[in-house]
Structure 1
Amino acid sequence: MKKLVFYSFFILLIYSFVSCKNEPQESTITSNSQDSTIQEQTTPNILQLEGQPISLVVTTQKAIVRAAPSIEAAEIARFSKGDSLLFTNRISEFNTAMKLEGVAYNEPWLRIILSDNKMGWIYGACINFDATQQVQLKEKVLDQRAVALFGASLAQQIAVYQKEVKTARTLPAFRTLYSRAQLLKDSLEKQMNIYLKTAHTFPDFFWLNELMDGLLVHYIESQNKYYLFKDLRVWQMISTQTDALEDDQFVEVLLASYPSDSIAFYFYGWQLPVDSTTMCSLLGSNIHIDVLDKIGVALDSNGYFNAEIKTIKQALIDDIAVAEHYWMPLEQIQQELNAILQKKYTFLSSGDRIALKTRRQLLQKHVENNIAVNLFEGQ
């Protein structure tokens, strides 16, 4: 009997020793005033990130919290889009390939704390956060997400763009940055809308706002389409980083063209969509003449932004000359149009002037010419 007890105790001791050796342990961070280093222990499955705990926002329709960083782990909680969670600065060192709402991801797991003080793990693709508060988390989640969804080349362009936003100090650098922003806009809009058409549910791309200053993701529900719009207040701030005046004057043209919220929307500030088929001109509200005044200042001999400015000018002239619907009363429309013609802008071509004068004549008999005015009053 004594031998049996001894052998049982000996086997239990060996089992406990082996279990301790096989249990995964978390990596820890030690830091000093100079730098921080990750010290790996037995099985470095988990990383501990630096910084204060930050809030995560659920961006998928549902998000499952599990007991461990694995799709096979038990579910311990479930959250919905818009819910806030507290990140505890622990992240899985490995990624898990998973398809969510029709989009394929390959992201790590993040440890969060629940309201009952229990810890759980949520999949990275389910959340968004303020990237300025946690740079390490941004690199592990958002930067890798950009690579997974848009490819290494486009993700690298995003990184280069963001670096140039911080370092643009000359007029040529601002010019290059503005051109890069347009290329990013075109490429990312194309890719986002491909996902939008093929995904089973609505894929959320608003996390891109954390990667690109000066570009904002918008979803236009009526068109079922994603856009990237320029945040002109950010571009104004970037222009002040240079000693040149040309970029400041160019941004002033842009701000005058989008006066309501300083966001470069898919239609100009002198246009007002009444419904899905009717676009009104706001001639008579003095937006047109304000833009033209700033164009006169901004057009310069070196021509850094002349192509963009001339595109804006032509769109404005076309709005006046060919619009079939005007929002303002006829008297105010005629007042602004007469003021534009009296200004004698040197950058207006003879064709522009002929178009404006012709429109003035047509407006005098707007009913006979099927031109609607004063839609503000419902006429």
Structure 2
Amino acid sequence: MNLLIKSATVVDPNSPFNKQVTDILIENGVITQIGKDITAEVEIFDATGKYLLPGFFDLNCNIGELGYETKEDLQSGTAAAAAGGFTGIALMPNTQKPVHSKAEVEYLVNKSKGNLVDVVPLGAISYKREGKDMAEMYDMLQSGARAFTDGNNPVQDAGLMERALLYAHGFNALIFSYPEDTAIAGKAKVNEGEVSTLLGMKGIPSLAEELMVARDLYLSEYTGSPIHFSTISTWRSVDLIRQARQRGLQVTCDVAAHHLVLTDEALTGFDSQYKVKPPLRIQKDVDALIAGLKDGTIDTIVSQHTPHEVEYKNVEFEVAEFGIVGLQTAFILALKAGLPLDLIVEKLSVNPRKILNAPTANIAVDTSANFTLVDTEKEWTYTRENNFSKSYNSPFIGQTLKGQVLLTCNNNQLFNLIK
């Protein structure tokens, strides 16, 4: 892949060209020149007023393979990722069968070879994600799993979580915790508060998340093991993690992009497209999440891409599945939340790779071209036609959004969204 990008503004804290307007020449997938007034006999892309960022990496992505290919498969999921500026995705083990042994990890690694988007499987902590017996974590690590999580099944057994932290720490692996105490959350569908009372629905209290955050912080401290919290959503969770970091604990965390711009007030019309888990919270929580991103308490922003067929969402709110497709909107929602571009790069590009010890994506000479080119001012309408996922369970479809991904490049391949 050969391309000359003219007059792009580089935003990459690890690049010597950070914040500079410059030309970038890519030859055979490698950045060979960066500077002013470069000429070459290759395709030219005028990027005046546009921003060149390191490719994004998503730490929380659900793709149907294995078993749920009608929701999403690797081909459609990686296309949606590239359309959202992602050049790497970490796959949750929420599949059927779950990714709980080296066989599933090796299938995903081999099936995704040669793709523009780097696919990193996350292995399950427990066999079948049932929260009872520990899965074959070391074997999965050897086969390509980068970290371990039971996905959207929170580990309720504190003893199992303690043993998993100790075991994974022995071979420098990372445990992801999805913090929810199911005994507190019960079968409720929305955040507990004024809106749940107005809707006449039982709510999930913030306590259900915060109890589990507190428990796993204690376990991390006791075992001396690092831990990562997936999709925190309340102000107290942010505060607990901030205090833990001040005490020197090895803790990282992420937040789903939709939790930065939506509150539970979006649910007053009983629109199941807004049904997510953790549930949409209140404005106080949204403000705390944004503040946590700005002060470094929250390390990354994730898409929490969760595709579903129409029959699982176009039903009564109570029985609809949780989740939205988020790969194509994560960057745009981060912009909508008012985050500056350099902070978005830190949370979508730099920190996710640090957490997984994945190779960095730098915009520098003699490095593999791994970037996304974006227009932060462009307005476009998100439709079913320009949605690359197999599923279209997103509340943002039909809306006009500000900010657009134009090009995504990785592994000597180019994804051009404006042809």
Q: TM-score, normalised by structure 2?
A: 0.26
Larger of the two Rg values belongs to structure: 1
Q: TM-score, normalised by structure 1?
A: 0.28
Higher relative contact order (CA 8 A, sep 6+): 2
